[in-house]
Chain A
Amino acid sequence: MIRLQGVHKAFGANRVLRGVDLEIPEGETLTIIGGSGTGKSVTLKLMVGLLRPDHGRIWVDDTETTFLNEDKLFEEQKKFGFLFQGAALFDSLTVAENILFGVRNLRPELLANARGVVEQKLGFVGLKPEVALLKPAELSGGMKKRVGLARAIAHEPKYILYDEPTTGLDPIMSDVINELILSLQERLKVTSIVVTHDMKSTYKVSNRIAMLHEGRIVAEGTPREIQSSENPLVKQFITGSSQGPIQMAVRHA
């Protein structure tokens, strides 16, 4: 279980999160939706401890991680796999070295069968073992995302965080990624938090949806509840209309 309580986070004068409350029970797939720049990535980074909240508290299982020192936080971080928006593969390492990177630090016992780990994880994300020897620069966008996912699950984490897993991919590749998220959920029984503004993907993968707007969670519910929501913010967002209470800055001052 992951729990956020009254979490605030600002960067200088930019108050990104202003009291976020969220609870993600075991086995659930929660999707956080919201416009660009509303702080979705920041929320994910707070959960793993990449960022620290200014106010509020964060729990991972029974441990409050808000003020943990780096060594103790490291123990909690082992429980997470993070798929970054641009995959964030290490350019200088091969695909296999990328996949084993976290295993080496977090689950060294698995290294006895390093080759097996690489092939199994690549298989999970639908890639052939030959890919293992390529460098990230030789991969297409969709393949990068899949390798990023293989790397994120290699140390067998309990929680998987997906930052815009389908952004920038063609519709078919997006669906492939959605299927992967679903199959990981079924096969590995992981708890997932997906951040996206792709509604098709949201409906497909989520048990529950939360909408982030102006630093707070403004709506929360099952996909069905969100789809039939009367909340004007939600209605505008899921229909993708420029008319409504959410005002996007067309030009920044």
Chain B
Amino acid sequence: MFHNPVAFVGRRLLGWARTLGGVVVLVQKTVYWLFKARPDVRNTAIQMNEIGVRSFPVTSLTALFTGMVLALQTGYSFRKVFNEPLYVGTVVGLSLLKELGPVLTALVVAGRVGAAIAAELGTMNVTEQIDALYTLGTNPVRYLVVPRFLACLVMVPLLTVYADLIGILGGFGIAHWRLGIPAPVFWDEINAIGLEDGFHGLIKSVAFALIIVITACYKGIRCQGGAEGVGQATTSTVVVSMVMVLVSDYFLSSLLVSLGVG
């Protein structure tokens, strides 16, 4: 690797190009099977439960404390500047709806669900269960990827809306009982937030769901090399999808803002 930097860079570029090609093919097959055959209802329901319902507790906890700390920090910081805790509702509401709700939910899902999907599909791959699906007349993309894809696409935005609500409630609790902000003041500020700010967050959460589920399915289905390979696929799914969520968040936000959404 050190004697020939050109070859090293070339190999890296080829590797990336191959990965990108593989991802595109997987997405194309997923979309094809999504429309070609009726999705497997049973599997989709199982995945919705696994991805959505079972992520509720950890999402709730994350959102609740994030809302609380946001209210606390804004309240005390603004009190220093203005001598009064102003705009706590606005700051809490906007931060949660536009940024923290979608991003924190995505990070929680990437850690919890992305890892689980990669580990499950990876194990199925190294134990030849994915090959077995083929030989028994079932397309693995249809049977394994489509249900997870649908479940993520539906459940991640729902979780995000839920996280927004819980976070705002947490923020309200602190604003009201700790900072002494009257309830009507807080809720008037929340009500003043435009619908497009909510859309801004929701659109991003759909994009994050896509990033997570595609990364996890790709890594799982491509996983090689026994138990060690499954471990690597799982770790790299979490790392790659978290980084991609955070990086894409910036670009998506700036795109949405320039389009006038939020």
Chain A interface residues (CB < 8 Å from chain B): 45, 48-50, 70, 74, 77-78, 80-82, 84-86, 88-91, 101-102, 105-106, 151-152, 155
Contact = CB atoms under 8 A, between A and B. Distances in A.
Nearest to B134: A50
Contacts of A85: 128
Contacts of B129: 88-91
For chain B, which range describes its interface: under 10, 10 to 19, 20 to 34, or 35 or more residues?
Answer: 10 to 19
B135 A101 contact: no
B131 interface: yes
Contact of A105 (B131, B132, B137): B137
A90 B127 CA distance: 10
B136 A106 contact: yes
Contacts of A101: 136, 138
Contacts of A45: 131
Nearest to A73: B134
A86 B128 contact: yes
B139 interface: yes
Given A82-B132, A84-B132, A90-B132, A102 B127 contact: no
Given A77-B137, A84-B131, A152-B135, 6 more contacts: A77-B134, A78-B137, A84-B128, A89-B129, A89-B132, A102-B136
B28 to A, nearest CB: 13
A189 B136 CA distance: 21
A90 to B, nearest CB: 6
A85 B131 CA distance: 11
Contacts of B136: 101-102, 105-106, 151, 155
B131 A88 contact: yes
A42 B136 CA distance: 18
B33 to A, nearest CB: 11
B138 A105 contact: yes
A88 B139 contact: no
A86 B137 contact: no
A155 B131 CA distance: 17
Interface string B132-155: 101111110000000000000000
Interface string B110-141: 00000000000000000111011011111100
A95 B132 CA distance: 14
Contact of A80 (B128, B135, B138): B135
A106 B129 CA distance: 17
A102 B128 CA distance: 15
16 contacts: A48-B135, A49-B134, A50-B131, A70-B139, A74-B137, A77-B135, A77-B137, A82-B132, A90-B129, A90-B132, A102-B137, A105-B137, A105-B138, A106-B137, A155-B136, A155-B137
Contacts of B127: 86, 88
A84 B129 CA distance: 9
Contacts of A88: 127-129, 131-132
Given A88-B129, A90-B129, A82 B137 contact: no
Closest 3 CB pairs of A and B: A105-B137, A102-B136, A88-B132
Contacts of A70: 139
Nearest to B136: A102
A70 to B, nearest CB: 7
Interface in B25-46: none
A151 B129 CA distance: 13
Contacts of A84: 128, 131-132
Contacts of A50: 131, 134-135
A81 B135 CA distance: 7
A78 B136 CA distance: 8
A45 B139 CA distance: 16
Contacts of A86: 127-128
Nearest to A102: B136
A106 B139 CA distance: 12
A86 B137 CA distance: 19
A158 to B, nearest CB: 13
A50 B129 CA distance: 12
A239 B218 CA distance: 44
**Which of B127, B128, B136 has the largest number of chain A CB atoms within 10 A?**
B136
A70 B141 CA distance: 13
Contacts of A151: 136
A48 to B, nearest CB: 6
Nearest to A70: B139
Contacts of B131: 45, 50, 82, 84, 88
A102 B138 CA distance: 8
Contacts of B128: 84-86, 88
Contacts of A82: 131-132, 135
**Which of B127, B128, B132 has the largest number of chain A CB atoms within 10 A?**
B132
